[in-house]
Amino acid sequence: MSQIAANGEKEKITGYQWKVFFLVWAGYIFDSMEIMLFSMALIDIAGEFGLSLSSAGLLMTLALLGYAVGGMFWAPLTDRKGRTWVLMWTVGLYSLFTGLTALSWSVLSLAFFRFLTGFAAGGEWAAGAAFLTETWPARLRGRIIALMQAGWPIGAIVASLVYKAIAPEYGWRMAFLAGVIPAVIVLIVRRTLKESDHYVQTKERIGKSTDKFYELKLLVSKEHRRSFFLLMITASIGLLGYYTIMTWIPGYLQKPKALLYLKQQTGLLL
């Protein structure tokens, strides 16, 4: 059965399509878990390295900068090398650098690992979203992407549970070692998933192009530039608000005043 759904066609959902969803969803959950772990560890990290909160916040900024740079780096590769290829590399690398964060011996090494973690994670969402939309029927693509997005708050809850279970007893570094678990997804993707029919057909059609900036030129072309810039501005405003809040709330909930009402990470579960 073709994975490309014709408009209006009632195509039965296959087990393979569900497998694609759950693997992409898991990658997105662990992506969220990784960045939220750092937010929860911010107070402990600042204390260990003698940083002010503003300086510690710059480390989060570096990770987010890595997301932006990584998004621009991985996006063209998603079209040229394939969705599964990028998923394997991005999930594998952000798992590796999350684990290496636990081994940071200085502020400089910590900043280096955080940037590279963001750089790797920055390509995971785009590759996963493209893979899902090409694998699932057109009539269900909006719903399946919405379900994928629901993985982000689930990842934050997982990070909360992991940090609460590990950090008080073993320290923040051990909590980050749990970040290597998503590497298992790489093995599953490599063994069980194949590129979508849509991707294969599209690559055959434009694969002979030697223009390295083809994708960028397409985005800013007259036909697409308005939608592209409006969506980019909307996403930037939304992410600005989200990360401004979620970078600092976990640390605030660890302060004595906040603990009169909530106990450390438990409050995030609300």
One-letter identity of residue 217:
K
Residue 230 belongs to some domain of the structure: no
DSSP label at 221? S
pLDDT, tens digit, 9 for 90 and up, residues 141-164: 888 888 888 888 898 888 888 888
| 194-207: b (≥16 Cβ within 10 Å) or e | ebbebbeeeeeeee
Q: For residues 264 and 253, is the Cβ–Cβ distance under 8 A?
A: yes
Answer yes or no: is 136 within a domain: yes
Q: What was the pLDDT predicted at 131?
A: 87
Where are the alpha helices (H) located in the chain, listed in sequence order?
A: 15-49, 53-80, 83-101, 107-121, 124-135, 141-149, 151-170, 172-177, 183-192, 197-206, 214-219, 225-252, 256-259
| Burial of 47 per CB tally in 10 Å (0-12, 13-18, 19+) | exposed
Q: Is residue 263 part of a domain?
A: no
pTM exceeds cut of 0.75: yes
SS3 105: coil
Under the banding of pLDDT at 50, 70 and 90, the label for residue 4 is: very low
Owning domain of residue 101: 15-198
121 within domain boundaries: yes
pLDDT for res 7: 44
Domain contains 210 = no
Residue 111 belongs to some domain of the structure: yes
pLDDT-derived band at 1 (thresholds 50, 70, 90) equals very low
The answer to the question of residue 241 being in a domain is no
In a domain, 224, yes or no: no
What is the domain-level CATH number for residue 145? 1.20.1250.20
CB 80 within 8 A of CB 202: no
What does the pLDDT look like over 107-153, one tens digit per residue? 999 999 999 998 988 888 888 888 888 888 888 888 888 888 888 88
Percent of the chain at pLDDT above 70?
A: 78
Split into its structural domains, the chain has a count of 1
The pLDDT value recorded for residue 207 is: 60
Residue 239: predicted pLDDT: 67
